[in-house]
Structure 1
Amino acid sequence: MDTMRDRFISTTSQLLDEDARLAVVLADISADGFRPAQQAHPDRVINVGIREQLLIGVGGGLALTGVRPVVHTFASFLVERPFEQVKLDFGHQGTGAVLVSAGGSYDWPAGGFTHMAPGDVALLDTLDGWTIHVPGHPDEAEALLREAVRGEDRVYLRLSLQQNDRALPVTGEGFLTLREGRSGVVIAVGPMLGAVEEAVEGLDVTLLYATTVRPFDSAALRRATEHASTDVVIVEPYLAGTSTTAANDALRDVPHRILGLGVGRAELRRYGQMAEHLTAHRLDPASLRQDITGFLGGRWTGSDESPSSGHRGRFRAVKP
């Protein structure tokens, strides 16, 4: 199976042949993969080098001319380092673009903390008008990319080496209901689906699958809680609790509890491998099952020493 990043490169190269409005802006990352496309379209595949602020500035300038820019590098260099440019060159200017990241939260642990971006979605959440896609499979990444380039809006497509074994039909709108139950609602975001499915096997829960997390599908969550418990667990492949505010807002008029599971705030300073980071943040199936069953059973007691404890066990039960 190819990776999401491989699929992004091949799909975007094809789209450059089909759509003269499209341009790709790079900052060295994936430049080799786009070399054939750059040779075919030298005026629409632009590599600015390791200059991330310029990367966003060029994308914003192209957007002002009517071009649909696809801007790409690692998440930490695409969202975090040039955040002021993202805020001003797209949001303030009222222009659109498709930002496509690689690297996820810790795809390349040997690169150290400079190449990790577990806070990217939370950071973009401070800005208005961004659609955020978090695919869990290369086929989903391709479908969401093709949908994004057709529009005029601001889109962030978050790619990762972590991926599910199968693709599901995604359209860029709303959550998918994979199963229904009465003991609670579990939302699995993008590449977390495989681990979550294993974690909730045999449990009487509703399972929702989210690949488009902004706008947050409040209607799907409300439907899921109409005839079941309003205990909600959100499992995200980035900063724990990123979507708890959105879920709280969706259920603001009904008693509910929410547990946000994801990447913790503590920096893990040993390189390790991606699987070891998942385990350290309690995002492996066994840890997820323990935390989900404990929360839904009312016995979960978060520990401040847990890597992801910043948003665990902190939501007071308001159900009668």
Structure 2
Amino acid sequence: MPGMREAFLSTMEQVLDEDPRVAVVLADISAASLEAARRRHPDRVINVGIREQALVGVAGGLALAGMRPVVHTFPSFLVERPYEQVKLDLTHQGAGAVLVSWGGSYDMSTAGRTHQSPGDVALLDTIPGWTVHVPGHPDEAVALLRDALSGDDTVYLRLSAQSNARPHPGPGLQAMRAGRRGVVLAVGPMLDRVLAATEDLDVTVLYAKTVRPFDAATLRTAVAETGVADVVLVEPYLAGTSAHQVSEALVEVPHRLRALGTRRDAEVRRYGDVADHDLAHHLDEASITAALKDFLRAT
């Protein structure tokens, strides 16, 4: 099965042939994969080179000219480096675009910190109006991409090499399992390991592939049905990125929250594969199981 990146590029090949409004803006990354599309549509496949600020600025200009730009590179070069352009050239100007990253928090584990971006979603959270999708399967990524292309708003699609075994189509928070001792909210590629970690635990498991806007109503309903306002948030990026969303959703309900994600207390400076980084950030199945049991034991 092709991964999310391959599914994205294949879909863009099709979309460029189908919709003359769509343009792709690249900064060398994936340019070779879209070379055939560039030959067919030289005015709508634009490679600015390793100039990430220009990458976003060009997309803003295309949007203001009536195009639907798709902007693609690694998250550290798409959100962090050109943050000012994302803030001003897109959001402040009211220019819609679809930012599509690949690499997650540490998929390129041996490339070093320059290619790792656990803080991308938290950074976008400082700018109003963004829709943020974190698919857990290539099929979900394609469906979310096509939906985003039909609009004119600002959308961030965060793709990863990590994936769940099967897709879970549908909007909002989806109930994967029902229980009575609390609610575990798994985001994107975290779902399968959360389901494995909670197999012997009496908890409700919710799945989110769209995190902004946040589906507060479904979370409130799940907490009410569970009868226990204990929530564990498991995200594939900076721990607690959506904690304020959970707290706001439950503002009228006394609740406890445990946020799991990439570490805030220390930077992981050692090289290793993705599994090594999962261990370092306590996002492997065993670590999630231990954290859940400790949290529920404290009830």
TM superposition score category, shorter chain reference: over 0.9
Tell me the CA shift for residue 227 of structure 1: 2.4
**In the alignment, what sits opposite 1:247?**
246
- Superposed CA RMSD in Å reads 0.8
CA distance in 2, matches of 1:297, 1:169: 33
Aligned partner of 2:263: which letter? G
Tell me the CA shift for residue 193 of structure 1: 0.6
**In the alignment, what sits opposite 1:196?**
194
CA distance in 2, matches of 1:3, 1:157: 14
CA distance in 1, matches of 2:252, 2:288: 28
SS of 1:34 mapped into structure 2: helix
Aligned partner of 2:167: which letter? A
CA distance in 1, matches of 2:107, 2:224: 38
| 2:277 paired with 1:274 | no
CA distance in 2, matches of 1:252, 1:285: 30
CA distance in 1, matches of 2:162, 2:267: 20
**Residues 87-120 of structure 1 deviation map (CA, whole Å, 9 limit, x = unaligned):** 0011100111000001110011121001000000
**In the alignment, what sits opposite 2:236?**
237
Runs of 4+ in 1 over 4 A off after TM superposition: none
CA distance in 1, matches of 2:36, 2:200: 49
**In the alignment, what sits opposite 1:262?**
261
| 2:12 paired with 1:12 | yes
CA distance in 2, matches of 1:33, 1:185: 41
CA distance in 2, matches of 1:257, 1:181: 17
**In the alignment, what sits opposite 2:292?**
292
**In the alignment, what sits opposite 1:168?**
168
**In the alignment, what sits opposite 1:118?**
118
Aligned partner of 2:244: which letter? T
Tell me the CA shift for residue 190 of structure 1: 0.2
Residue segments in structure 2 that go unaligned for 5+ positions in a row = none
Identity of aligned residues (%): 64
CA distance in 2, matches of 1:77, 1:194: 28
- When normalised by structure 2's length, the TM-score is 0.98
**Residues 276-299 of structure 1 deviation map (CA, whole Å, 9 limit, x = unaligned):** 100111111111000011101217
- After the TM superposition, which residues 84-233 of structure 1 pair with which residues of structure 2 at under 5 Å, given as runs? 84-170=84-170, 173-228=171-226, 229-233=228-232
Aligned partner of 1:116: which letter? Q
- When normalised by structure 1's length, the TM-score is 0.92
CA distance in 1, matches of 2:68, 2:217: 31
SS of 1:208 mapped into structure 2: strand
SS of 1:282 mapped into structure 2: coil
Aligned partner of 1:194: which letter? D
The aligned length equals 297
SS of 2:24 mapped into structure 1: strand
Aligned partner of 2:219: which letter? L
Tell me the CA shift for residue 174 of structure 1: 1.1
Aligned partner of 1:20: which letter? P
CA distance in 2, matches of 1:267, 1:297: 29
Aligned partner of 1:157: which letter? L
CA distance in 2, matches of 1:217, 1:181: 19
CA distance in 1, matches of 2:231, 2:139: 28
CA distance in 2, matches of 1:248, 1:261: 15
Tell me the CA shift for residue 178 of structure 1: 1.1
CA distance in 2, matches of 1:3, 1:250: 33
Residue segments in structure 1 that go unaligned for 5+ positions in a row = 300-320
CA distance in 1, matches of 2:110, 2:205: 34
